[in-house]
Amino acid sequence: MFDNLSDKLNSAFKKLKGRGALTEKAIDEGLKQVRMALLEADVNYRVAKNVISDIKKRALGQEVMESLTPGQQVIKIVYDEFSRMMGSSHEELSLDGKAPNAVMLVGLQGAGKTTTAGKLALYLKKNGKRPYLVPVDVYRPAAIDQLKKLGSQLDLPVFQSTQEMKPLDICLAAERRAREEGYDTLLVDTAGRLHVDEELMAELVGLKTGLNPAEILLVADAMTGQDAVNIAGSFDKALDLSGVILTKMDGDARGGAALSIKAVTGKPLKFIGVGEKSTALEPFHPERMASRILGMGDTLSFIERAQDAVDQKKAEKLEQKLKKNQFTLEDFRDQMASVRKMGSIKELIGLLPGVNKKMLSGLNIDEREFVRIEAIINSMTPEERRTHAMIKGSRKKRIARGSGTTVQDVNKLLKSYTQTMKMVKKINKGGMRSLRGMLPF
């Protein structure tokens, strides 16, 4: 079986060695794998279908970036589209209205509302707010007790509701109390309910009308399957949510529900719950979620790093030089430096398409070797770097001294450089398709 999407894509693209723009055939083949990955991650069937067709429209005719394979290029498009869908950055709660502002937590049973209420209160307190926990779950046995206990564990104030009170009465009384005590944010922990329970959904609408909350957050389980669209859609329709908190993200669920929920509601994911501890609440980062759903953090980070490290214009210039066999030792050094900027060489080779862990196990790369090579080239004069043929005996000695190496080392470098140049001449039409061509060692 395939470990992740990038493996799948690599195998799908093995046959495709074409260059330039992505062909429809290549895209279809790649997107089939992407679709499977989405479904395996619990992205809703119809959402996945729409995403795929959007991506296809974007991908058609796109140029393949010089530093990427077609498979990686498709992943990049998918990833960009995902990040775009998820929102570009973390969105904070908007609690700047006249105090006290209310934050309502809603969701199904067992999604983690009460636990999240505690975590969120702690988070707000750390950010200079004065939160007030308001237990409104009068249905589940001991739900109110749970929040009261959490409150005392975390040293946070809790409104003393009782099961006999009506939810709206609790909220209004808590609001009055907050004004008296100077609490600026109410965290309203509502009872878990099914989105198809009309009576209980109507109760939430009543709370919204009576309380006019600044935020209504859906608390949803990261492990939710296909039904996420129905759940989130119903809550959003009834309440016009302001955001979503995804819980139980410390498990191994891929969390495709995040994409489904975002697609259906259009509301931002604001936080994720990542553990049993009360501090285990983190701001949501769209790009991390995208790579988690795709199950391919490695390749994505490689693509990111490649994008950062390789300046497009520079790369084009280099390719021109290579084509004209004008690739000097200077270029060689620059290229190596930009590769090294991306991480350790072994790690990078491991990320390359077609390279698996088995192949890597026999590979013993001395990272210091690259430092030596850089030092040697740095010890040359600009002229020497441009015309390596002029480097003879006494120059070699000087360079070895300057770089703290030996004449043998300098010879070795010059030899591999000439070999590389021979290779470049041969594969000139292949250009810099893969980084592997750049590593003659």
Interface ranges with another protein (CB under 8 A): 36, 39-42, 44-45, 108-112, 139-143, 145-150, 153, 194-196, 221, 223-228, 230-231, 248, 250-254, 256-257, 276
Nearer to another protein, 108 or 310 (CB): 108
Closer CB to another protein, 72 or 224, in the complex: 224
Minimum Å gap between C-beta 257 and another protein is 7
Q: Which amino acid is at 51?
A: V
Closest CB to another protein among 238 and 360? 238
Instruction: Enter the tokens of residue 112.
Output: 């983690």
d(C-alpha 321, C-alpha 389), whole Å: 18
Least spacing, CB of residue 313 vs another protein, in Å: 42
Chain center to CA of 214 = 28
Closer CB to another protein, 33 or 291, in the complex: 33
- Cβ at position 38, least distance to another protein in Å: 9
Closest distance to another protein from the beta carbon of 41 (Å): 7
Tell me the closest approach of the beta carbon of residue 141 to another protein, in angstroms.
3
State which H helix or E strand residue 332 sits in.
helix 329-340
Neighbours of 302 (CB within 10 A): 24
Dihedral angle over CA of 113, 117, 119, 124, nearest 10 = 140
In the complex with another protein, the residue whose CB is nearer, 108 or 211, is: 108
CB neighbourhood size of 97 (10 A): 12
By beta-carbon proximity to another protein, the closer residue of 44 and 73 is 44
Q: Measuring CA to CA, how many Å separate 286 from each of 143, 292, 349? A: 32, 10, 27
Query: Least CB distance from residue 4 to another protein, whole Å?
Result: 14
Which residue, 150 or 171, is less far from another protein as judged by CB? 150
Which lies closer to another protein via its Cβ, residue 68 or residue 143? Answer: 143
Name which of 294, 228, 400 is nearest 36 in CA terms: 294
Minimal distance, residue 212 CB to another protein, in Å:
28
Which one, 194 or 423, has the nearer CB to another protein?
Answer: 194
Structure tokens at 297: 């953090």
Contacts of 360 (CB under 8 A, 6+ apart): 346, 349, 350
Fill in the DSSP letter of residue 158.
B
Least distance to another protein, CB of residue 305, Å? 28
Identity of the residue, 143 or 188, whose beta carbon is nearer to another protein in the bound complex? 143
Question: Where on the phi/psi map is residue 288: left (φ > 0), alpha (ψ -120 to 50), or beta?
Answer: alpha
Alpha-carbon gap, residue 152 to 158, rounded angstroms: 8
- Sheet containing 269-273: order of strands: 131-135, 185-189, 101-106, 215-221, 243-247, 269-273, 281-283
Cβ closest to another protein, residue 230 vs residue 416: 230
- To another protein, the closest distance from the beta carbon of 365 in angstroms equals 33
Measure the CA–CA gap between 48 and 432, rounded to whole angstroms.
34
Q: Could you tell me the smallest distance in angstroms from the CB atom of residue 187 to another protein?
A: 15
CA separation for the pair 282, 175 (Å, rounded): 27
Dump the DSSP string for 124-151.
HHHTT--EEEEE---SSTTHHHHHHHHH
Task: Output the smallest distance, CB 433 to another protein, in A.
Answer: 33
Does residue 377 contact residue 330 with C-beta atoms inside 8 Å? yes
- Report helix angle 393-403 to 367-378, nearest 10: 120
Which residues, 6+ apart, have CB-to-CB distance to 133 below 8 Å?
117, 118, 121, 147, 150, 151, 156, 157, 158, 159, 187, 189
